[in-house]
Chain A
Amino acid sequence: MTTHRTTPAPIRVTLHNQRPLIDRLEETVLAECEQQGYTKASRFAIRLALDEAITNGFSHGHEHLPSSLPIYVEYAIDDKQCFFAVEDQGPGFDPSTVKDPTLDENLEQMSGRGVILIRAYMSSVTHNAKGNRIEMIYKRP
């Protein structure tokens, strides 16, 4: 008999901009990762990328919108990979317009490092055409 294992359907969470709620969601995700056997280094990478994506959603995506507006986070975790999507209700942005903060002349630039860290730690990162949704996959090493 052959069994096929499929990634579970993503869980969708409505998230308001309150640190205890963000912490609770991240802790839930990390507990699930730990249960699936992800190492401390993997959990560090996952928390960092997820937190940066959430912060970007609220700080940049919702910059000119009421602070009460929630963002949406989706996640699906199995023992091979983690999928995350973070969607805000803002007008969207073009990530290619962010100046590279790792260039010598931009080292003191105040923004753009969240995206750099997400790309460094995640296996794949995509944005929708509107630019208000980021999807990230972390493949277990």
Chain B
Amino acid sequence: MAADSRLRVKKIDTVTHIEFVDRSILDEANIQKIGEEIAKIIEVEAKPKLLISFANVDHLSSSALSMLIAINSKMKAPKNGELRLANIDPQLYEVFVITRLNKLFKILPTTEDAMKSLA
């Protein structure tokens, strides 16, 4: 990861855990960087399994949602990867419900639940 990365990334078994450094994911330039960093992770994995945790996140913009949609698309064929979102607080989850992105993404309550579903 770059020194100015806005992500904390660790590999547990075959799953790449991604957490955000910032509580607010609103800055357009940062969102672009985050998207590029995650795209690189997907690129180097043969069949990526990603768990993105929102445990530290209070605010999320529609640009951040677009970035997540782009990541979701990159996980599809030929990669055939698996993406899970977890630890989204109820207020933030409402944003996914309003935009109906809770239908597009596989969202699990906790990291543990997400790990189980990726096993």
Chain A residues packing against B (C-beta within 8 Å) = 19, 22, 40-41, 44, 47-48, 51-52, 55, 59, 101-102, 104, 107-108, 110-111, 113-114, 116-117, 120
Whole-angstrom CA separation of A71 from B62 in the bound complex: 19
Whole-angstrom CA separation of A135 from B16 in the bound complex: 43
4 residue pairs, one from A and one from B, having the closest CB atoms: A113-B62, A114-B62, A102-B100, A120-B98
Known: A44-B91, A51-B61, A117-B98. A110 touches B28 (CB 8 A): no
- Residues of the A chain whose Cβ atoms lie less than 8 Å from the Cβ of B66: 110-111, 113
Query: Does B8 belong to the interface (CB within 8 Å)?
Result: no
Whole-angstrom CA separation of A76 from B100 in the bound complex: 32
What number of residue pairs across chains A and B have CB atoms under 8 A from each other?
58
Query: Does B59 belong to the interface (CB within 8 Å)?
Result: yes
Query: Does B95 belong to the interface (CB within 8 Å)?
Result: yes
Per-position 1/0 for B94-115, Cβ under 8 A of A: 0100111101100000000000
- Residues of the A chain whose Cβ atoms lie less than 8 Å from the Cβ of B98: 102, 116-117, 120
Query: Does B70 belong to the interface (CB within 8 Å)?
Result: yes
Shortest B28–chain A CB gap in Å is 7
- Residues of the B chain whose Cβ atoms lie less than 8 Å from the Cβ of A52: 61-62
Chain A residue with the shortest CB-CB distance to B103: A107
CB–CB A117/B28 < 8 A? no
CB–CB B104/A55 < 8 A? no
CB–CB A117/B95 < 8 A? yes
Whole-angstrom CA separation of A136 from B91 in the bound complex: 21
Whole-angstrom CA separation of A68 from B101 in the bound complex: 34
Query: Does B69 belong to the interface (CB within 8 Å)?
Result: yes
Chain B residue with the shortest CB-CB distance to A19: B27
17 contacts between A and B (CB under 8 A): A19-B26, A19-B28, A48-B59, A48-B61, A51-B26, A55-B26, A55-B61, A55-B62, A55-B63, A59-B63, A108-B69, A108-B72, A110-B69, A110-B70, A111-B66, A113-B62, A117-B62
